[in-house]
Structure 1
Amino acid sequence: MRVVVDIPSELVDQIRSAIEQGNYAGPEEFLEQALHTQLRLESDEQQTLMSFSEAVQPRSQEVEQSSFGETLASEQTPGTNEDSSELEDLSVRDFDVLTVDPPSPSRIDTGPLWGQYNRILPMKVSVRRLAIELDKAGAGGIAYDEFREQTAAVARAYGHKLKEIDKEAGRGRGEKFSAGFPTGDKVESSLNRFKTHFVGQIDSTGSLTGSLPNLQFVNISPSTREFGLSDAGLDFARVENPVLDQSLRSDNPLSESERRFYLDHVNSELHAEYNAMELVAEAIVGGVNRPDPLSERVAELSEDWTSAQASTIRSGLIGRMNELGLVSRKRVGTRGVGYELTVDGERELL
C-alpha cells in the first residue's frame, strides 16, 4: 500500500543523516523500522494512543468506574511509591485446589501463541491468583466476571510498581518486567486487553481466547461461566517466582524452576509453540537475526498469516524466549535491534 504523508523538514534532515551513516538501506527501511518499533512499544506497554481531548482531560474524569476491579485500577497511577506490602499478597502457599480438565483442542487455538501474549510473568500473576482464590473458596471454580475484573486490577497495581522499578534499574524496552501488565493511561482499554490476553475470555460458542487457556493452564466452563485450574496450571502456580515470592526488585522475572517447567510443558503439550521456538533459534544461528527477515522466516509456519500477523507472532516469540533466557537482544546501528541465541537457547532448542 502506498501512503503519502508530510514530514517536518527537520525530521527529514535527521532521517537523511541516519541513512548516510549506513544504519539503513534507504528511507523505506528507516520508516518501516520506525513503525515496527512504535507498534512494539504499544504492545509492550499494553496501551493505546489517546486523542488530544483524552490526553488533556483531568485524570479524575478519565473513566467512570464502579466495579471493584476498575476502581482499584484507577487509583493506581504510574510513578507512585507504594510499598509491596500495599499490593495483594500473591506469594506461594500450600494450595488445596480441586482441578479441572484442560480445554479441549476444539475450543482453543492450537497454533503458536499469539504475539500479544508476549510475557510469561503476567501469566504467572493470573495463575497464582486463581490458585489462591480457589484455595480460599474451597471450590473448583471462580465466577468469570469477578475474577477477570479483580485480577486485572491487581495486575495493574503490580505493573505500576514494576514500571517504577524498571525505570530505576534502567531496563530497556525488551527487558522491562512491567511489559504485558495493564499500565496504560487509558485505563479501561488497558484492563480489557489484560483480561483477554493474560486472564482468559469465553465467547458465545464456548471458544476460549487468551494465553492461559491456550497453554492449557485454565479452563472456563461454558455452563457455569467459572474459571478452573488444570493440573498443569496448579503445578505452575506452585513453582516459586522471584518477583512474587522474594522481591519485586529481583534480578530475574522467572526462576530457573519456572523456566524448566514452562519449557517442558510447552514441549509436551504445545508442539506448535515449541516448534516455532526451534525455528526462531535455527534462523538466528543461521544469520537471520533481524526483525523483518526473522518475521519472514516465522511466516513459513502458516500460509494463512499476513506479514503483519507473522511480525506479531515473531515479536511475541522473541519476548517470551528472552524472558526464558533463550534469546538476547543486541543493538544494531543507531536504533536497530538484532537477536542472539544464548547458551541455554542452544542447549534447549538446537
Structure 2
Amino acid sequence: MKLLLVLPNSIFNKIQQLIESGKYASSSDFFIAAVENQLLLETTLSKGTDVVLPDTDTITSEKTREDIVKRFVLKPGKELIKTVATPLPEQLLYPGSDSENDLFLWGQINRIFPMKVGLRILANLLAEKNEQYIELDEFTEKAVELAKLVRSRLMAETLQITGKKDSLWSGLPSEDSDKSASRYKMQFLAYLRKDGIIEGGLGRLKFVNLKREENRKTHIGITEKGLEFCVLENPILDAGVYNSGSLSEEGRQFYLRHISSEVPGETRAFVDVLSLLKEGKNSQSSLNRELRKIWPKNWSGAVINTQRNGTVSRLAELSLMEKIKNGIEVEYRISKTGIDFLAKGTK
C-alpha cells in the first residue's frame, strides 16, 4: 500500500538528518518504525486493558519513550487513588529495637527524587487498575523500566541545557546495569523481609505499606502521606524545569514536616549532622569522627561513612546544607533553611 503524506519542512528536515546520520536506511524505514511504535503505545495504554510496559530495548522512537514517561510519572488525580493504612511500628522495628528514633534510612538511599518517581508510578498504576493494592513484583518491574526512561530523558535534557552532566538522575537505574536496577528496587522502593519487616526507602518513610497474602505474594499500596507527597508539583516531572533542584519548595517543606512527625530516625540523623555543621565540623573526616560518638556503637567506620554520605546528600537535596569543593576536598556548610529546621527539630 502506498500513502501520500504531507509534512512540514521542519519535520522533514529532521527526518533527513536522522537518515543521513545512519540511524535509518530510508524514509520508509523511519515511518515504519514510527508507526510500529505508535501502535505499540496505543495497544499498551488504551483504556480497559491491563497496563503492560513494552521492553525498552524495542522502543526506537523518542516520542514513544516520552509519551510512556508522561503517562506514568505525571501527577495523577488524587481522587482516583485508594490509600492504605500507615505501617505500624511492629512492621518497621528490627528485632531488639524498641524505638523508631533508632531507625535510620540506609545511607545508600542518597536521594529523595528517585522515591518521588517511584510514588508517581505506583499511584498511576493503582489508578489504572482501580485497586488499593497491586503485586509488589509487578510494581517494581514497571518502576525500574519507567525510571530508566526518566533517567535517559534527564541525562539528555540536562546535558543539552547546561552542557555538562548533573546529579539529577542519581539513584535512578541505568539501562545497561542490572545492579542499578536491583539497587533501585531494594533501596529506594520497597520489599518485605521474611520476618514481615518492611525495607526500602518508600516503606521506611511510611509512604507505602506492604502485606503478604496467603499465596505468599507481596502486595503494595500507597498511604495517605505517600499520596500527598506524590501529587505535589515537581519541577522536573511536571514542568520540565531542570535548574531549580529535584524537588519543589512545597515538596521539600512537606518532606521535612512529614519526617518531623512520622519518621523520627530521619529527623534524628538530620539534626545530628546539622548540629555538627553548625559547630564547624565541616569536613567528611570531622563529621565521621563526631558521628561515631553519637551514632550506634556497633557501626563500623565504613557504615558511619555510608550513613553520613547518604544523610548529607539528602540534606543538600532539601537545601538544608551545601557542598563546596575546595580542590579535592569537600566542605559542608549549613544553610539558613538548615538553621531554621535545626531550631524546630531541637525543641
TM range (shorter): 0.7 to 0.9
Say whether 1:292 aligns with 2:285: yes
Q: Residue deviations 1:131-178, cap 9 Å, x none?
A: 111112111101111111010110111112212334342567xx6101
Q: Which of residues 259, 275, 278 in structure 1 aligns to 2:271?
A: 278
Aligned length: 276
- Could you say which structure has the greater relative contact order, defined with CA pairs below 8 angstroms and 6 or more residues apart? 1
Distance 1:261 1:308 in 2: 31
Say whether 1:329 aligns with 2:323: yes
Q: CA deviation at 1:336?
A: 0.9
Distance 1:117 1:171 in 2: 24
Say whether 1:114 aligns with 2:106: yes
Distance 1:205 1:154 in 2: 30
CA RMSD of aligned residues (A): 2.3
Does the CA contact (< 8 Å) of 1:100 and 1:230 recur in 2? yes
Does the CA contact (< 8 Å) of 2:65 and 2:149 recur in 1? no
Matched residue of 1:221: which SS? Answer: strand
Which ranges in structure 1 are unaligned for 5 or more consecutive residues? 1-67
Distance 1:335 1:231 in 2: 44
Say whether 1:176 aligns with 2:167: yes
- 1:101 matched residue in structure 2: 85
> Which range moved further: 236-245 or 106-115?
106-115
Q: Which of residues 127, 140, 153 in structure 2 aligns to 1:161?
A: 153
Does the CA contact (< 8 Å) of 1:98 and 1:139 recur in 2? yes
Distance 1:318 1:184 in 2: 27
Distance 1:97 1:86 in 2: 20
**Alpha carbons of structure 1 residues 238 and 87: separation in structure 2 relative to 1, 3 Å:** closer
Given residue 94 of structure 1, which amino acid in structure 2 is its aligned partner? G
- 2:69 matched residue in structure 1: 87
Distance 2:317 2:59 in 1: 26
Does the CA contact (< 8 Å) of 2:136 and 2:219 recur in 1? yes
- 2:41 matched residue in structure 1: none
Q: How does 1:52-71 map to 2 (within 5 A)?
A: 71=55
Matched residue of 2:254: which SS? Answer: helix
Which ranges in structure 2 are unaligned for 5 or more consecutive residues? 1-51, 94-99
- 2:49 matched residue in structure 1: none
Say whether 1:213 aligns with 2:203: yes
Say which one has the larger Rg. Answer: 2
**Alpha carbons of structure 1 residues 112 and 171: separation in structure 2 relative to 1, 3 Å:** farther
Instruction: State the TM-score, normalized to the length of structure 1.
Output: 0.73
Instruction: State the TM-score, normalized to the length of structure 2.
Output: 0.74
Does the CA contact (< 8 Å) of 2:252 and 2:318 recur in 1? yes
Q: Which of residues 295, 300, 307 in structure 2 aligns to 1:313?
A: 307
Distance 2:268 2:89 in 1: 18
Matched residue of 2:240: which SS? Answer: coil
Given residue 314 of structure 2, which amino acid in structure 1 is its aligned partner? R
Q: Residue deviations 1:227-269, cap 9 Å, x none?
A: 1111111111121111111115352210111011100000101
- 1:301 matched residue in structure 2: 295
Distance 1:212 1:123 in 2: 6
Matched residue of 2:330: which SS? Answer: strand
- 1:234 matched residue in structure 2: 227
Distance 1:309 1:115 in 2: 8
